[in-house]
């Protein structure tokens, strides 16, 4: 395998979050729970992270990260268009209603 592939896409719209997906890397490693975000006209792929609260403020700690800025940027270049296509990102993406009690 010489390319990245996207599986299990789940399009949603909740704030800046556009959806979740899994990404299989050329090595065969699968990163589950990868996210696509959009804010102020900019889109990016977010890797899984762990939520925590410090001094009453919600924050996130990375679970996976790249060892260099160059590798992180290359990952974004290669995976972002695949994620957009898999999630069929458009203005019609559903907004999630958090008030539904189920």
Residue-averaged pLDDT of the chain: 88
Q: How confident is the model at residue 88 (pLDDT cuts 50, 70, 90)?
A: confident
Boundaries of every domain in the chain: 5-87
**What average pLDDT does this structure show over 56-72?**
95
Question: What is 5-87's CATH number, 3.30.70, 3.40.1000, 3.30.1120, 1.10.10?
Answer: 3.30.1120
**What average pLDDT does this structure show over 73-80?**
96
In this prediction the pTM is 0.80
In 3-state terms, what secondary structure has residue 101? coil
Maximum CA extent, the chain? 45
**What is the pLDDT at residue 2?**
59
**What is the pLDDT at residue 8?**
96
Q: E-strand spans in 1-102? A: 5-14, 17-24, 30-39, 42-46, 49-54, 57-62
């Amino acid at each position: 395998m010489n390319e990245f592939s996207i599986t299990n896409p789940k399009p949603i719209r909740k704030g800046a979050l556009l959806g979740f997906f899994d990404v299989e890397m050329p090595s065969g490693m699968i990163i589950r729970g990868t996210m696509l975000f959009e804010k102020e006209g900019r889109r990016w792929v977010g890797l899984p992270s762990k939520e925590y609260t410090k001094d009453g403020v919600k924050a996130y700690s990375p679970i996976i990260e790249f060892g260099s800025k160059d590798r992180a940027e290359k990952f974004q270049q290669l995976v972002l268009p695949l994620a957009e296509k898999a999630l069929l990102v458009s203005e019609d993406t559903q907004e999630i209603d958090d008030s539904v009690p189920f």
